[in-house]
Amino acid sequence: MQNNFPNEGMSVIVKTITRFTVWLIFLYGLYIVIHGHLSPGGGFAGGVIVALSYVHLTLAYGKNFVLDRINKFAMNSLEAIAAILIVLTGIVGLWLVGRFLANFLGIGTLYTLLSAGYIPILNIFICVKVGMGLYLVFYYLASFKPQEG
Amino acid sequence: MILSQFIFVPLLAAFLIVLFARKKENVAAIIALAACAWILIVAVIGFLKLPAHGGLILENTSGWKIPYTIALVLDNLSSFMLIVVSLIGFLSAFYSVQYLNHFNGKWNFFALFMLMMTGMNGVILTGDFFNLFVFMEISLYSAYALVAFGTESEELEAAFKYALMGAITSTMILFGIGILYSYTSTLTMADVGLQLSHSGTPKLLFLVYGLFIAGFGLKTALVPFHAWLPDAHPSAPAPISAMLSGVLIKTLGVYAIVRIFFNVFGAPTVVLQILMLLAILSIVIGGFLSIVQWDFKRLLGFSSISQIGYVVLGFALGTPLGILGGILHLFYHAIFKSLLFMDSGAVEYATDTRDLRQLGGLSKEMKVTSSTTMVGTLSIAGIPPFNGFFSKLIIIIACIQAGRVVLGIIAALVSIVTLAYFLKVQKHAFYGKKGSAKVLEKVPLAMKAVMIVLAALCLLSSLIMIPPIREKYISPIVDTVRGKTSYIQNIEPYFDTGSIK
């Protein structure tokens, strides 16, 4: 993809290294989320790492480069949708089992990826919510300019 | 009765507003109002249905039983608090619809407002210490943002001060919860109470008392923890001032203190004495600092410190009459202080200032605001037949009955001081010489309607004092607070017995 803002951000060395590392950070975040019910980690920790990969990109390439590729409105909406889905998961539990946030899926085989009922699903929603939320906080703080005088 | 709806309905409303109502501000108002109305209706139904359930409805969340999960507990006290919160919440939301014409970003306001409601409902319903902390933080963080809503430098400073002091004391509360958890290995309030009743009073517990008094004392704005309130309340938009002063300091402060110290710790004498001291300090210092204020809302803020002192004094006496007075003053103060804050909002909306030195002679041009402020003044000063008279009278009688004659006399004298500073408001804002400020804009209908409803409630809520009504609806709440172990005993049958080993 073409970089429309080649003069922003840090030096060529940092940008080149970032091209290699940002995917690793992003994938590591996803790994933490998807294995959240099997190993240490989970939606929140994974979400923070996903947000950090965006932060990494912003630091190296400047914020306009990132904004060229992702939509702030979409990020805001995704965050709200994830929050609504978390609440809806709780309501589905209330509806099917009779208790708020009760597990309504099978438990599955222990130590396999598809286990632990609804926990992996909640982890994914939480990852989206935390990741988008944290990056937006970073973005708004970065774009804040104090008034002169 | 599904208790979790008190939490997920406003939570869902908050995020639906963020998702759908960013460009359409009327949709935001409609969603918020619908959620508030829903909560209010369900709260009233819950209050009426409660006696049929034996005074306690308990809902375990997720698939386990307490103490392995978080339980939501609706008893007489929490059901009463829910009504107070949802009533003032609904009226404030209704008032905000037109009040916010002078602000940008209505959807932001309503989303934060709904999050604040979520937090307060959660604090009231939860039966779990850590959950209480989490919900407290939810409502506090929305309150910080709402105080800074106008984004003027003064408002940002107030919000920052509030956030800093709130964060320090929240840490204290968390620390206290940590100590309790390390000692009892449980976070369920009833279980903590049960285990402490077996083990007596370890010295460690006094550290927890201290941390909780400082932590919740700041949320209540008791002197000497009051410094944030006179800045935060005037800076927030008027409906939020009404919410902060009317219900937030009562839910996060008074309710949490009563629930934890009375129901879990069994009302230790040393804590009651400390609370009594802090309460009387608040009454006197808040009252006298109000007299010298010239900012309408700042005056009301100091007055809140003084009045919350009365509420805490009632509870701290520990006698049935004192607790009755505390409960009634809590309810009545929520009504008349919200009314007065909304009146100050109407004055600011119309004249663009709240400096009493610039106002004056508004009674002819702003008839509704002027007369509702008069009703609020008479209520807060304790003039019969308005509601404030009854609650203050009960608290003063309770003081004398409990052998604390000096406290009773101080409370009665500060009541006169209260009348003095509200007469100052009347003289400088509504009567007396015409000031330099002019009425630029008419107060919209929705704002007037809410003020009239609250003024009517100032009179109507006195009817609670009629003995049959009081016996039926208020006495069970007093018994819940007073019955030091009844909360634990009522919850004990719901405990998990041996499914997890």
What span, in angstroms and rounded, lies between the C-alpha atoms of B63 and A94? Answer: 10
A100 with B8: Cβ contact below 8 A: yes
Closest Cβ–Cβ partner in B2, B15, B63 for A80:
B15
DSSP letter for each residue of B312-346: HHHHHH-SHHHHHHHHHHHHHHHHHHHHHHHHHHH
Q: Are A32 and A41 in contact (CB under 8 A)?
A: yes
In this predicted structure, what is the pLDDT of residue B501?
Answer: 43
What span, in angstroms and rounded, lies between the C-alpha atoms of B394 and B54? Answer: 28
Q: Report the sign of the C-alpha dihedral through residues A64, A65, A66, A71, in that order.
A: positive
Q: Are B147 and B158 in contact (CB under 8 A)?
A: yes
CB atoms within 10 A of CB B16: 21
Domain ranges of chain B: 5-494
What span, in angstroms and rounded, lies between the C-alpha atoms of A2 and B233? Answer: 51
What span, in angstroms and rounded, lies between the C-alpha atoms of A46 and A26? Answer: 9
What span, in angstroms and rounded, lies between the C-alpha atoms of B15 and B6? Answer: 15
The DSSP H or E segment spanning B60 is: strand B56-60
Any chain A CB within 8 A of the CB of B22?
yes
Q: Are B357 and B316 in contact (CB under 8 A)?
A: no
Rounded to the nearest angstrom, the minimum Cα separation between B44 and chain A is 21
pLDDT one digit per residue (tens) for chain B, 501 residues: 788 899 999 999 999 999 888 888 889 999 999 999 999 999 999 999 998 888 889 988 887 888 888 999 999 999 999 999 999 999 999 999 988 887 888 888 999 999 999 999 999 999 999 999 999 999 999 999 999 988 888 899 999 999 999 999 999 999 999 999 999 989 999 999 888 888 877 888 999 999 999 999 999 999 899 999 999 999 999 999 999 999 999 999 999 999 999 999 988 999 999 999 999 999 999 999 999 999 999 999 999 999 999 999 999 999 999 999 999 999 999 999 999 999 999 999 998 888 888 888 888 888 899 999 999 999 999 888 899 999 999 999 999 999 999 999 999 999 999 999 999 999 888 888 888 888 888 889 999 999 999 999 999 999 998 999 988 889 999 998 988 788 888 888 888 876 554
Nearest-Å Rg of the Cα atoms of chain A is 19
CA-nearest residue of chain A to B11?
Answer: A87
**Rounded (10°) angle between helices B367-381 and B320-351:** 160
Among the listed residues B60, B80, B64, the one whose alpha carbon sits nearest the alpha carbon of residue B72: B60
Closest Cβ–Cβ partner in A79, A83, A102 for B62:
A102
Number of inter-chain CB pairs under 8 A, A vs B: 46
Domain ranges of chain A: 12-142
What span, in angstroms and rounded, lies between the C-alpha atoms of B258 and B484? Answer: 11
Any chain B CB within 8 A of the CB of A103?
yes
What the block records as the tokens of B286 is 């808040």
What span, in angstroms and rounded, lies between the C-alpha atoms of B65 and B55? Answer: 20
B393 residue type, one letter: L
Closest Cβ–Cβ partner in A79, A94, A97 for B4:
A94
What span, in angstroms and rounded, lies between the C-alpha atoms of B21 and B107? Answer: 6
Terminal alpha carbon distance of chain A: 41
B59 with A84: Cβ contact below 8 A: no
Q: A-contacting residues of B 25-64, CB under 8 Å?
A: 59-63
What span, in angstroms and rounded, lies between the C-alpha atoms of B418 and B425? Answer: 11
Nearest-Å Rg of the Cα atoms of chain B is 22
Among the listed residues B290, B160, B170, the one whose alpha carbon sits nearest the alpha carbon of residue B230: B290
What span, in angstroms and rounded, lies between the C-alpha atoms of B418 and B381? Answer: 6
Contacts of B256 (CB under 8 A, 6+ apart): B123, B132, B136, B216, B219
B480 residue type, one letter: T
Mean pLDDT of chain A: 86
Residue A1 has pLDDT above 80, yes or no: no
Question: Of how many residues is chain A composed?
Answer: 149
Alpha carbon separation from B20 to B5, B14, B34, B145, B469 (Å, rounded): 21, 10, 15, 21, 44
Alpha carbon separation from B270 to A76, B83, B482 (Å, rounded): 50, 31, 16
Alpha carbon separation from B289 to A6, A84, B125, B286, B301 (Å, rounded): 60, 45, 35, 5, 10
Q: What is the ipTM of this complex?
A: 0.88
- Secondary structure (3-state) at B381: helix
CB atoms within 10 A of CB A117: 18
Alpha helices in B185-319 (DSSP H): 189-199, 204-220, 229-235, 238-243, 256-257, 269-291, 296-317
Alpha carbon separation from B381 to A86, B79, B330, B417 (Å, rounded): 47, 28, 15, 9
